[in-house]
Amino acid sequence: MPTPRKTDSDHRLQGTKSQAKDEGSAFVPGRPKFPKGLPQAARSVFKRLAGLLEKRRHLTEGDVELLRIYSLLYVRHTKALQQIEADGEICVYVRMDSNGQPHDQYKPNLWLKVAETCEKNMVSALDRLGLTPANRAKVKPTGDDKNKPADPMEEFLARSPGSATAENAAEDDDLEGLVN
């Protein structure tokens, strides 16, 4: 089992450098435009998923179609579950035999197939977006914002102890005469 990776703060405290390869991300973060023609029920699902991906720094403008498809599948799945709840999972269908006599036949509800297909496709979309435990690590975060302000403490810790500024060097010259 490999040694766990040290955090950046541990490296700063111990004066070491990380050997881990950080590829970074070539993807620019961005919120996709809201697709036209999306039903009202699917809009809240689209916004919820977009917000979740944005919080995780996995959202790009190219995710619009996958989010749209997932939103439509979610609405279809909800409708199918409502029909299954009303009719039951097993329904009675009337079939005619070869003599033209009707017979009751028990079969799975046709909406059950719709719900199962939606569930399968929804899980597939969530996998591709990195929202399942198995694929969470496969999705790389988007690039960092280059314009974020620097932390003064980070700058202080990043300086090496031997580096002196011109101002500190002038102060050291003034103190040389005081030392015996």
User: What percent of the chain shows pLDDT beyond 90?
Assistant: 41
pLDDT of residue 69: 95
* Comparison of pLDDT for 165 and 117, the residue scoring more: 117
* Comparison of pLDDT for 60 and 165, the residue scoring more: 60
Judged against a pLDDT cut of 70, whether residue 163 lies above it is answered with no
**pLDDT digits 0-9 by tens, 2-11:** 778 888 888 8
* Comparison of pLDDT for 28 and 65, the residue scoring more: 65
Residue 143, Cβ density class (10 Å: 0-12 exposed, 13-18 middle, ≥19 buried): middle
**pLDDT digits 0-9 by tens, 109-128:** 999 999 999 999 999 999 99
pLDDT of residue 147: 47
* Comparison of pLDDT for 129 and 151, the residue scoring more: 129
pLDDT of residue 126: 93
pLDDT of residue 153: 67
Instruction: Judge contact between 74 and 45, C-beta under 8 A.
Output: yes
Determine the Cα–Cα distance for residues 158 and 6; give it in Å rounded to an integer.
Answer: 17
pLDDT of residue 42: 93
Is this prediction's pTM over 0.85?
Answer: no
Number of neighbours of residue 51 by Cβ within 10 angstroms: 12
Q: Please state the φ and ψ torsions of residue 132, each to the nearest 5 degrees.
A: -115, 155
| DSSP H or E run through 93 | strand 90-96
**pLDDT digits 0-9 by tens, 10-63:** 888 888 888 776 555 556 666 777 888 899 999 999 999 998 988 888 888 888
User: What percent of the chain shows pLDDT beyond 70?
Assistant: 73
* Comparison of pLDDT for 54 and 69, the residue scoring more: 69
pLDDT of residue 24: 55
Query: Which pLDDT band holds residue 71 (cuts at 50, 70, 90)?
Result: very high
Q: Is 109 helix (H, G, I), strand (E, B) or coil?
A: coil
